[in-house]
Structure 1
Amino acid sequence: MSRPSENGLSSETLFFTATWNGDSTRCVARLAPAVEAVPVFPAYDLRAQFEIMRLAREKAGIPAPRTLWFEPDPAPLGTPFFVMERADGQVPPDVMPYTFGGWLHDASPAEQRRLQDASVGILAALHQTAFTAEELAPLGEAGLRAHVAAQRAYYAWAHGRRPIPLLERAFAWLEEHWPDEPGPDVLSWGDARIGNMMFRDFTPVAVLDWEMAAVGPRELDLSWMIFLHRFFQDITTGAGLPGLPGFMRREDVCATYRELTGYEPRDLDFYELYAALRHGIIMARVWQRRIHFGEQPMPDDPDDLVLHRATIEELLAGYEPAS
């Protein structure tokens, strides 16, 4: 049994091999984190993750790992868990970010574009698949309002004792610039980014980490995929390196998505800021975990808990009319 060495903050992951009737299967177990680990999220609905992965694979043809079994009883391992088949492939790393170097950074522009288009294709296939209300019921209330309300509740849980003014400004901006007609609701992967995919020959062979899945507008996934690249790109240029400036550009991602689905993404300024805000809540929570475990001190300015503070400030300034 072993643990992965890259990517992933939200739950415990174990690798093992299961053998029965003379056959062996390489498996991955996902475990809900213990309370004393100061988890990133307030709740981990492993049954919902298990079912949504199965649906995405069986109905939408998404290469999510094949799910094997779910165990709600905490007795065997001390916490609920589910098991899926283990996949193999290359993952664009978070640490150090793929924008700093490595196999994707060093690939040709054509190979990078193949990976980008194939990744957008995953979103297109998922969003174009019809699911029943019963199938999506484990994910709770649908729609943009419900999604933002859930993020407000998450923010209050994670940071309520010490508000973060920058994130509250972003929430206020969203209310002032709410889309007139949010797009139709679809199954949203939630953590839709290339760091949650495995690739072979620049083609996705596994789509991982479904704990943020929800039912809402298509733009939730599109903006998350675009923004998460910007997040790593900004870190890279801040370090004085070029990164991948031509990768995952909004206009290219949206053009590919439009070609694949016939749907024209809308209100991307709104959704990009929302993606930055959502990621800001997560990163501030991760930062507070580090503080809790003595890995760094609490900053004097709570906005400094947000690693990409400058990016959110830039987005807010860019979207607001000059005074």
Structure 2
Amino acid sequence: MAGITLAQRDLNTTREQMQAWFEHRFGGPAVLSELRPANRAAGWSSESLVFGVDAGERSGEYVIRIPPSGGGIFPEYDLDAQCRTQELLHEHGIATPSPIVYEPDDAWIGSKFLVMPRIVGHTPSDTTYAVRGWLHDAGPAVQRRVHDSFLDTLVRLHRAPVDDAPWLARPQGIGLAAEVSWWQDYVDWGTGGRVPDVMAEAFEWLIRHQPGPTTDLSICWGDARLSNAIFDDSGELVGALDWEQACICPAEADIAWWLATRKQMLEVHGLDLDPELEGFDTREHVVRRYEEMLGRPLENLDWYEIFAMVRMGCCILRTQVLLRLTGQSDHFLTRAPIMPAWALAAIS
């Protein structure tokens, strides 16, 4: 998806500018195809566009990732940090797109940007994968491989050395308290200081019940869900995408994010299933299995699932602001609940 932006980008002009950049960066002539959206299943936070290049040894398909023109879902887009995160994790066996090029000079297209090779495959929509689409129709064997390769990716991520990614620290530091504080500041910024009562009350609940400090921290994806991954025909994860929310937190933050978004999807469709697909594990089995993989118990998962839905709600609020500012007040997301009913019931 091209992302939600406050200013429209001229894709023809950007293609010409990128062609000049490509020739400058790699030397020799290059011909670029038209730019088109990269991922229609997700990708609301940035402009992610695919283009083909005819340039000898450099020929192929690439993705350019650009901060939204005029502002977007996040207050800052640290592309340098995203680049370093992806390259670091690639070294630890995580299928982030590589090699990735960070261009800090905004003179080329009016913005800094990232360029990386395109990874071809299937990206499930995490709002519908249990009721229709490739993953739903793929059968239990492929579903099982999707499930397992996703968990394998998470455990490799959570075992990567935290000290190697100092750029992921929040302004308040690292760990849970810093992350909660960052999201409080975020929703205040994202709504222009008009934070709904239900969100303010949710943060009060989170702080009141917040687990104690721990030194058992990991590099966390921050947005660990199926729509941020690309899978091949067999179900193997071949691309882990969208590292804008990466942070240093307990691994529970990622596991709970995935568990909570699974639960949220089921609520949207009125389904009472566990698991939601024949090839998936139940919630209980996922938790037990991941504890074995990680080598320690997962603690306070109920709290982390609420935190996940509060964070999701913060992003929904900001998205609603952007949609209204861009004249899309009739978009279905402007009517979406801030948090699912099960999360609201847990904190009431």
* Alignment TM-score, normalising by the size of structure 1: 0.87
| Alpha-carbon separation, structure 2, partners of 1:101 and 1:32 | 31
Residue pairs, 1:206-245, within 5 angstroms: 206-237=239-270, 244=276
Deviation digits for residues 116-149 of structure 1, max 9, x if unmatched?
A: 122111110111122435x333544211111111
1:70 partner SS: strand
Shift of 1:181: 4.5
2:166 — aligned with what?
A: 136
Matched, 1:288 2:321: yes
| Alpha-carbon separation, structure 2, partners of 1:56 and 1:193 | 17
2:137 partner SS: coil
**Which has the larger displacement, 176-185 or 164-173?**
176-185
Residue pairs, 1:1-40, within 5 angstroms: 1-4=35-38, 6=40, 7-35=42-70, 38-40=71-73
| Alpha-carbon separation, structure 2, partners of 1:265 and 1:69 | 36
Cα RMSD of the aligned pairs, angstroms, is 2.6
One-letter amino acid of the counterpart of residue 110, structure 2 = G
Shift of 1:313: 1.3
Give 5+ residue unaligned stretches, structure 1.
318-323
Contact 2:264 2:340 (C-alpha < 8 Å) held by counterparts? no
Identity of aligned residues (%): 32
1:67 partner SS: coil
Give 5+ residue unaligned stretches, structure 2.
1-34
Shift of 1:176: 1.4
2:36 partner SS: coil
Shift of 1:106: 2.5
2:118 — aligned with what?
A: 86
2:135 — aligned with what?
A: 104
Deviation digits for residues 57-94 of structure 1, max 9, x if unmatched?
A: 01x20011103311111111111001111101111025
Deviation digits for residues 218-271 of structure 1, max 9, x if unmatched?
A: 111111111112222211117x99992775643222122122221211000110
Shift of 1:18: 3.3
| Alpha-carbon separation, structure 2, partners of 1:235 and 1:276 | 14
One-letter amino acid of the counterpart of residue 235, structure 1 = V
Contact 1:226 1:248 (C-alpha < 8 Å) held by counterparts? no
1:26 partner SS: strand
One-letter amino acid of the counterpart of residue 4, structure 1 = A
Aligned length: 308
1:237 partner SS: coil
**Which has the larger displacement, 268-277 or 160-169?**
160-169
| Alpha-carbon separation, structure 2, partners of 1:168 and 1:125 | 35
Change over 3 Å in CA distance of 1:183–1:253 after alignment to 2: farther
1:266 — aligned with what?
A: 299
2:130 partner SS: helix
| Alpha-carbon separation, structure 2, partners of 1:231 and 1:130 | 31
| Alpha-carbon separation, structure 2, partners of 1:128 and 1:219 | 13
